[in-house]
Amino acid sequence: NLDASALIEEVLAVDEKRRATQTELDNTLAESNKISKEIGTLYKSGKAEEANALKAKTGTLKENSKKLGEVLNTAATELQDLLYQIPNVPNELVPAGNTDEDNEEVFQEGAVPALTEAALPHWELAAKYDIIDFELGVKITGAGFPVYKGKGARLQRALIAFFLDKNTKAGYTEMQVPHLVNEASGYGTGQLPDKEGQMYHLELDNLYLIPTAEVPVTNMFRDVMLNPGDLPIAYTGYTPCFRREAGSYGAHVRGLNRLHQFDKVEIVRVEHPDKSYAALDGMVEHVKDILRDLKLPYRILRLCGGDLGFTSALTYDFEVFSTAQDRWLEISSVSNFEAYQSNRLKLRFKDENNKTQLAHTLNGSALALPRVLAGILENYQTPDGIKVPEVLVPYTGFEMID
């Protein structure tokens, strides 16, 4: 839904200018390099006078190259700024549309539990069983920073461990990565400059709190040249995520629905371009498998152009249905970025013909905790308390929150 034609016209014009300037600069520098060499030779053979005569000639060359250098720098910066404003090109499968209403449902599975009239939304359940304290978080930090207590905390830890185990069994290597990243990393995965205001920024050290593990994990591959045998790469990692969520309000931020700090287990893949879409399908199947284990009713949406992220070519969102809230909650987003991030990251590999080409990057949540937790609390509630999903019991050590 973005008409980039004006931008692209500009890119082409600036690029042409850049190339012309570079050619001119290169020629000027070549000339002055040549003269410098001659001067050296002349000094060596004791012809100081001739050398000094040549020196005079370099003055204007130097002036010119300085000017051209500035023009070139300006053009290069301008070009980069323009390119940073152009989002990825959507895949052909991406449906046309403007808002989340235009997203295309491609899959649905799992029975929605029949709840009694007395069914409560998760924020009330959290208070009733004293497992999440939102007010306490407000006191310590502010809105959107909940405190998980007792069995609530344990359930969080259980989910993280369960997700990491599932991912590792599916071939993802577990990583622990920094939660703070530098500016270059922000640009590498495309959060900067697009989402400048959405990240917490530590000005003193010029570092950003990560909004997702995607940033540190994918940036491991910044300025990297891989060998053909290195692909595919599959990593998983748990991190807290920090988002300012400027502009959010109302019922959508109630309880766990939208937080400034939340936990997420992420999966990241680096793939050969020929195989990235097969990998994307594999990731979707993997997330399905997790949700089946948890026995949560969910659906999968193919995001329309208007809802698609800036850097993504194709995204599938997973949503869990919460009867108590009577709405779908987004719990995972799985995307193929094709070469968009690689281009910024300079993540390349030598292909079968020993040619360098950009790799494809993909990532997805497997899974984001708060809304999974909300879904569990709301869908698993009974008059006697909240049942813990069977697969989580070995991790929690208890079967009931009451």
Partner RNA sequence: AGAGAGGUGGCCGAGUGGUCGAAGGCGCACGCCUGGAAAGUGUGUAUACACCAAAAGUGUAUCGAGGGUUCGAAUCCCUUCCUCUCUGCCA
Q: Tell me how far, at minimum, the Cβ of 356 lies from RNA, in Å.
A: 5
Q: Does 44 bind RNA (CB under 7 A)?
A: yes
Residues 291-350 that bind RNA (CB under 7 A): 348
The residues near 95 (Cβ < 8 Å, ≥ 6 apart) are 102, 103, 104, 302, 304, 305
Considering only 27-35, 114-122, 158-166, 208-216, which stretch makes contact with RNA by CB under 7 A? 27-35
Burial of 264 (0-12, 13-18, 19+ CB in 10 A): buried
Does 55 participate in binding RNA (rule CB under 7 A)? yes
Does 35 bind RNA (CB under 7 A)? Our answer is yes
Candidates 35-43, 113-121, 292-300, 324-332; binding stretch for RNA (CB under 7 A): 35-43
Burial classification of residue 268, based on how many CB atoms lie within 10 Å of its CB (0-12 exposed, 13-18 middle, 19 or more buried): buried
Q: 150: which 2 tokens? A: 């007792």
Residue 356 interacting with RNA (CB under 7 A): yes
Q: Find the Cα–Cα–Cα–Cα dihedral 120, 123, 126, 129, rounded to 10°.
A: -40
Alpha helices in 141-275 (DSSP H): 151-169, 183-188, 214-219
Segment interacting with RNA (CB under 7 A) among 33-41, 81-89, 114-122, 210-218: 33-41
Dihedral sign (CA 315, 321, 324, 327)? positive
Residue closer to RNA, measured from CB, 46 or 383: 46
Tokens describing residue 225: 């040249």
Question: Can you tell me the distance from the alpha carbon of 335 to that of 301, in angstroms, rounded to the nearest whole number?
Answer: 12
Segment near RNA (CB under 7 A); pick from 19-27, 123-131, 235-243, 380-388: 19-27
Nearer to RNA, 24 or 104 (CB): 24
CB 31 to RNA: min, Å: 8
Query: Is position 353 an interface residue for RNA (rule: CB under 7 A)?
Result: no
- 8 Å CB contact between 188 and 218: yes
111 forms part of the interface with RNA (CB under 7 A):
no
How many residues lie near RNA (CB under 7 A)? 24
Query: Between 133 and 351, whose beta carbon lies closer to RNA?
Result: 351
From CA 349, how far away is CA 336, in angstroms rounded? 18
The H-assigned helical ranges of 234-384 are: 276-294, 340-345, 369-379
- Of 2, 8, 9, 19, which one interacts with RNA (CB under 7 A)? 19
Which residue from 8, 12, 27, 251 is in contact with RNA, where contact means CB under 7 A?
27
Whether the CB-CB separation of 211 and 243 falls below 8 Å is answered with yes
Residue 157, interface with RNA (CB under 7 A)?
no
Q: Tell whether residue 22 is a contact of RNA (CB under 7 A).
A: yes
**269 three-class SS:** strand
- According to the binding rule CB under 7 A, does residue 37 interact with RNA? yes
Please identify which residue in 8, 12, 40, 81 interacts with RNA, judged by CB under 7 A.
40
The smaller minimum CB distance to RNA, of residues 14 and 296, is found at: 14
Closest CA to 90 of 302, 300, 268: 302
Nearest distance from residue 357's CB to RNA, in Å? 9
The residue from 33, 80, 99, 141 that contacts RNA (CB under 7 A) is: 33
With H, G, I as helix, E, B as strand and everything else as coil, classify residue 100: helix
Q: How many CA atoms lie within 13 A of 316 on its CB side?
A: 27
Residues 6+ apart with CB under 8 A from 132: 123, 126, 146, 147, 148, 149, 152, 255, 256
Q: List the x/- string, 64-103, binding to RNA by CB under 7 A.
A: ---------x------------------------------
Residues 368-397 binding RNA (CB under 7 A) are none
**Interface positions with RNA (CB under 7 A):** 19, 22-23, 25-27, 29-30, 32-37, 39-40, 43-44, 55, 58, 62, 73, 348, 356
